[in-house]
Structure 1
Amino acid sequence: MISDATKRSILRWIHIVFSIPIVGYIYSPFKELPNYAPVVRYVAIPVIFLSGLCMWKGHLLRRLIAKRSG
């Protein structure tokens, strides 16, 4: 079983890696924005949101899932 510290570390790295396209979106030339927009909108932001939510309130989510299954 994976420890809580390892889970937090994995989520933290996912959060950091998927924020890189946002930096490219912000600092890219205006002509290149259409190339970055779908990746940022439909992949990066949802993954960042979900990983941040899991890091912030993951303990409550796990508790809810455990109550329903048990």
Structure 2
Amino acid sequence: MKLKINGEIKTIDHSNEEFIMEDLLEHLGYKPQLVVVELNGEIISPTVWINTKIKNGDCLEVVTIVGGGSYS
């Protein structure tokens, strides 16, 4: 399966023709509770990841939430 993830074409080895969003994120090494995902131009709510199927050719933008900073 070929996907465009954060602007890069990636080939994902997977026996099925589809991935569920939540499984794909874990497969890619993301912690689902720390990301925001856009699929084909639409932000996908984490509440529907379990029902969101990823197909060959889909485009994802995955933004990781990072804590930190400084206090003045």
TM-score, normalised by the number of residues in structure 1:
0.22
Normalized per residue, the structure richer in strand is 2
Normalized per residue, the structure richer in helix is 1
TM-score, normalised by the number of residues in structure 2:
0.22
- Which one has a bigger Cα radius of gyration? 1
